[in-house]
Amino acid sequence: MKKNIGNADKIIRIIAAVIIGLLYFTQQISGTTAIILLILAGIFILTSFIGFCPLYLPFGISTRKKEK
């Protein structure tokens, strides 16, 4: 698994996950919307830590800097 997520992308994903978590715990979102967003937040956290996004692969996207 070749890493394809850069540092800026990781930070954005983690911030988005934290915001979703805060919205849930302050009861700003609820129901099905909350469940879907919490799953998305979990995916954001997971992909940030492993450095690989499977959705980027078919499109050839990589936000990681090229290695010399």
pLDDT one-digit tens code per residue, 19-64: 999 999 999 999 999 999 999 999 999 999 999 999 999 998 899 9
| 3-state DSSP assignment of residue 11 | helix
* Spans of all domains in the chain: 7-50
User: 18: how many CB neighbours lie within 10 A of its CB?
Assistant: 13
Residue 46, amino acid: L
Residue 13's φ and ψ, nearest 5 degrees, are -65, -40
Residue 68 has pLDDT above 90, yes or no: no
Look at residue 53 in the predicted model and tell me its pLDDT: 93
